[in-house]
Amino acid sequence: MAKKKVYQTLEDRPTDLDKIESNGPYACRWENSWLGDGYYFWDTFIENAHWWGTEGRKYRNGYIICQAECDFNDTECLDLHGNMEHLKMFKDTYEFFKNRGFVDKQTTVKMFLEFLKKENESFKKFTAIRVNGMKSKRFDSPYSLNLFFENKKDQYFESIPAVQICFFTKTSLNLKNYKIVYPDEYNSDYVV
Protein backbone atom coordinates (compact mmCIF):
# COMPACT_ATOMS: atom_id res chain seq x y z
CA MET A 1 0.00 0.00 0.00
CA ALA A 2 1.41 3.38 -1.00
CA LYS A 3 0.30 6.88 -0.06
CA LYS A 4 -0.58 8.79 -3.19
CA LYS A 5 -1.52 12.43 -3.81
CA VAL A 6 -4.39 12.95 -6.21
CA TYR A 7 -5.99 16.10 -7.65
CA GLN A 8 -9.58 16.96 -8.51
CA THR A 9 -10.41 19.90 -10.80
CA LEU A 10 -13.65 21.78 -10.13
CA GLU A 11 -15.33 24.76 -11.73
CA ASP A 12 -14.73 27.92 -9.71
CA ARG A 13 -18.00 28.88 -8.05
CA PRO A 14 -17.04 31.46 -5.40
CA THR A 15 -20.40 31.21 -3.62
CA ASP A 16 -19.54 27.61 -2.69
CA LEU A 17 -16.00 28.23 -1.40
CA ASP A 18 -16.78 27.73 2.26
CA LYS A 19 -18.33 24.33 1.54
CA ILE A 20 -15.86 22.84 -0.93
CA GLU A 21 -13.46 21.21 1.50
CA SER A 22 -16.11 20.01 3.94
CA ASN A 23 -18.39 18.57 1.22
CA GLY A 24 -15.74 17.22 -1.15
CA PRO A 25 -14.79 15.25 -3.04
CA TYR A 26 -17.40 15.69 -5.75
CA ALA A 27 -18.81 12.95 -7.93
CA CYS A 28 -18.96 13.02 -11.70
CA ARG A 29 -22.17 11.64 -13.12
CA TRP A 30 -21.86 12.92 -16.69
CA GLU A 31 -23.35 10.74 -19.36
CA ASN A 32 -19.99 10.74 -21.16
CA SER A 33 -17.77 10.02 -18.14
CA TRP A 34 -15.08 7.61 -19.33
CA LEU A 35 -15.22 5.15 -16.44
CA GLY A 36 -18.76 5.58 -15.16
CA ASP A 37 -20.03 7.42 -12.11
CA GLY A 38 -17.44 8.18 -9.48
CA TYR A 39 -15.00 10.65 -7.97
CA TYR A 40 -12.40 11.49 -10.62
CA PHE A 41 -8.89 12.54 -9.66
CA TRP A 42 -5.64 13.05 -11.54
CA ASP A 43 -2.89 10.78 -10.28
CA THR A 44 0.25 12.48 -8.85
CA PHE A 45 0.69 15.28 -11.41
CA ILE A 46 -1.05 18.57 -10.60
CA GLU A 47 -0.23 19.62 -14.17
CA ASN A 48 -3.04 17.35 -15.37
CA ALA A 49 -5.51 19.10 -13.08
CA HIS A 50 -4.42 22.43 -14.56
CA TRP A 51 -4.69 20.98 -18.08
CA TRP A 52 -8.25 19.84 -17.40
CA GLY A 53 -9.23 23.28 -16.09
CA THR A 54 -7.75 25.20 -19.01
CA GLU A 55 -7.72 22.89 -22.06
CA GLY A 56 -9.77 19.78 -21.26
CA ARG A 57 -12.96 21.04 -19.69
CA LYS A 58 -12.23 24.75 -20.27
CA TYR A 59 -14.16 26.13 -17.31
CA ARG A 60 -15.50 29.58 -18.24
CA ASN A 61 -15.34 30.95 -14.71
CA GLY A 62 -11.94 29.47 -13.95
CA TYR A 63 -11.19 26.40 -11.90
CA ILE A 64 -10.20 25.15 -8.47
CA ILE A 65 -7.87 22.25 -7.74
CA CYS A 66 -8.33 20.16 -4.63
CA GLN A 67 -5.73 17.70 -3.40
CA ALA A 68 -6.44 14.53 -1.47
CA GLU A 69 -4.50 11.47 -0.40
CA CYS A 70 -5.29 7.82 -0.78
CA ASP A 71 -3.80 4.50 0.25
CA PHE A 72 -3.23 3.15 -3.23
CA ASN A 73 -3.20 -0.60 -3.70
CA ASP A 74 -4.08 -2.85 -6.58
CA THR A 75 -6.10 -5.21 -4.43
CA GLU A 76 -8.94 -2.68 -4.32
CA CYS A 77 -8.05 -0.66 -7.44
CA LEU A 78 -8.31 -2.10 -10.92
CA ASP A 79 -5.03 -0.66 -12.12
CA LEU A 80 -5.08 -0.57 -15.92
CA HIS A 81 -2.07 1.70 -15.99
CA GLY A 82 0.57 0.11 -13.80
CA ASN A 83 -0.45 -3.49 -13.24
CA MET A 84 0.17 -5.72 -16.25
CA GLU A 85 -1.74 -8.63 -14.66
CA HIS A 86 -4.83 -6.41 -14.34
CA LEU A 87 -4.43 -5.34 -17.97
CA LYS A 88 -4.17 -8.96 -19.08
CA MET A 89 -7.22 -9.94 -17.01
CA PHE A 90 -9.15 -7.03 -18.56
CA LYS A 91 -8.05 -7.99 -22.11
CA ASP A 92 -8.79 -11.70 -21.59
CA THR A 93 -12.20 -10.93 -20.11
CA TYR A 94 -13.02 -8.60 -23.00
CA GLU A 95 -12.06 -11.28 -25.53
CA PHE A 96 -14.10 -13.90 -23.65
CA PHE A 97 -17.24 -11.74 -23.77
CA LYS A 98 -16.53 -10.61 -27.34
CA ASN A 99 -16.40 -14.24 -28.52
CA ARG A 100 -19.83 -14.76 -26.96
CA GLY A 101 -21.32 -11.67 -28.64
CA PHE A 102 -21.73 -9.54 -25.50
CA VAL A 103 -19.30 -6.80 -26.59
CA ASP A 104 -17.99 -5.48 -29.89
CA LYS A 105 -15.89 -2.66 -31.37
CA GLN A 106 -18.62 -0.16 -30.45
CA THR A 107 -18.38 -1.05 -26.74
CA THR A 108 -16.77 1.77 -24.74
CA VAL A 109 -14.63 1.36 -21.64
CA LYS A 110 -17.50 2.69 -19.52
CA MET A 111 -19.99 0.24 -21.05
CA PHE A 112 -17.63 -2.69 -20.56
CA LEU A 113 -16.89 -1.75 -16.94
CA GLU A 114 -20.60 -1.48 -16.15
CA PHE A 115 -21.09 -4.90 -17.71
CA LEU A 116 -18.20 -6.37 -15.68
CA LYS A 117 -19.51 -5.00 -12.40
CA LYS A 118 -22.77 -6.88 -12.99
CA GLU A 119 -21.53 -10.06 -14.65
CA ASN A 120 -18.06 -10.90 -13.35
CA GLU A 121 -17.27 -11.68 -9.71
CA SER A 122 -13.55 -10.90 -10.17
CA PHE A 123 -14.32 -7.25 -10.83
CA LYS A 124 -16.82 -6.71 -8.00
CA LYS A 125 -14.04 -6.43 -5.39
CA PHE A 126 -12.65 -3.22 -6.89
CA THR A 127 -13.59 0.14 -5.37
CA ALA A 128 -11.58 2.25 -7.84
CA ILE A 129 -10.06 2.11 -11.30
CA ARG A 130 -6.88 3.71 -12.64
CA VAL A 131 -6.29 4.37 -16.35
CA ASN A 132 -4.11 6.39 -18.69
CA GLY A 133 -6.21 8.27 -21.23
CA MET A 134 -4.08 7.99 -24.36
CA LYS A 135 -4.11 11.04 -26.64
CA SER A 136 -5.95 13.06 -23.98
CA LYS A 137 -3.65 16.06 -24.16
CA ARG A 138 -2.22 17.79 -27.19
CA PHE A 139 1.37 16.79 -27.81
CA ASP A 140 2.45 20.45 -27.54
CA SER A 141 0.29 21.31 -24.52
CA PRO A 142 2.15 23.36 -21.90
CA TYR A 143 0.97 20.68 -19.44
CA SER A 144 2.83 17.93 -21.30
CA LEU A 145 6.47 16.93 -21.38
CA ASN A 146 7.14 14.57 -24.28
CA LEU A 147 10.45 13.33 -25.62
CA PHE A 148 10.95 11.44 -28.86
CA PHE A 149 12.76 8.13 -28.73
CA GLU A 150 14.33 8.74 -32.16
CA ASN A 151 14.60 11.77 -34.40
CA LYS A 152 12.14 11.82 -37.28
CA LYS A 153 10.02 9.01 -35.76
CA ASP A 154 6.54 9.29 -34.22
CA GLN A 155 7.11 7.28 -31.04
CA TYR A 156 7.64 9.29 -27.89
CA PHE A 157 7.79 9.06 -24.12
CA GLU A 158 5.06 10.93 -22.27
CA SER A 159 6.47 11.90 -18.87
CA ILE A 160 3.26 13.50 -17.54
CA PRO A 161 0.69 10.90 -18.59
CA ALA A 162 -3.00 11.75 -18.18
CA VAL A 163 -3.60 9.09 -15.53
CA GLN A 164 -6.91 9.23 -13.70
CA ILE A 165 -8.25 7.34 -10.74
CA CYS A 166 -12.00 6.99 -10.50
CA PHE A 167 -12.99 6.25 -6.91
CA PHE A 168 -16.40 4.58 -6.75
CA THR A 169 -17.14 6.05 -3.30
CA LYS A 170 -15.86 9.00 -1.23
CA THR A 171 -13.92 6.58 0.95
CA SER A 172 -12.47 4.19 -1.66
CA LEU A 173 -8.76 3.50 -1.02
CA ASN A 174 -9.09 5.50 2.21
CA LEU A 175 -9.46 8.77 0.27
CA LYS A 176 -8.91 11.62 2.76
CA ASN A 177 -7.45 15.07 3.52
CA TYR A 178 -9.40 16.85 0.78
CA LYS A 179 -8.30 20.48 0.54
CA ILE A 180 -8.05 23.34 -1.94
CA VAL A 181 -4.53 23.88 -3.29
CA TYR A 182 -5.26 26.18 -6.27
CA PRO A 183 -5.73 29.08 -6.71
CA ASP A 184 -3.45 30.24 -3.93
CA GLU A 185 -5.92 32.74 -2.51
CA TYR A 186 -8.41 29.90 -1.83
CA ASN A 187 -5.81 27.73 -0.13
CA SER A 188 -6.02 27.99 3.67
CA ASP A 189 -2.30 27.06 3.94
CA TYR A 190 -1.22 29.85 1.59
CA VAL A 191 0.92 32.56 3.16
CA VAL A 192 1.63 35.87 1.41
Question: CA 40 to CA 110: how far, in whole Å?
Answer: 14
Question: CA 66 to CA 24: how far, in whole Å?
Answer: 9
pLDDT in tens, 82-141: 999 999 988 998 898 889 888 888 888 888 888 888 877 878 889 999 999 888 898 889
State the sign of the Cα–Cα–Cα–Cα dihedral 128, 129, 135, 141: positive
Q: Do 185 and 49 form a contact (C-beta atoms < 8 A)?
A: no
pLDDT in tens, 148-162: 899 998 888 888 999
Check residue 165 and give its pLDDT.
Answer: 97
Where residue 5 falls among pLDDT bands split at 50, 70, 90? very high
Averaged confidence pLDDT in the chain: 90
Question: pLDDT at residue 167 above 90?
Answer: yes
CB-facing half-sphere around the CA of 107: CA atoms within 13 A: 16
Q: Do 144 and 44 form a contact (C-beta atoms < 8 A)?
A: no
Cβ within 8 Å of residue 149, ≥6 positions away = 155, 156, 157
Question: pLDDT at residue 15 above 80?
Answer: no
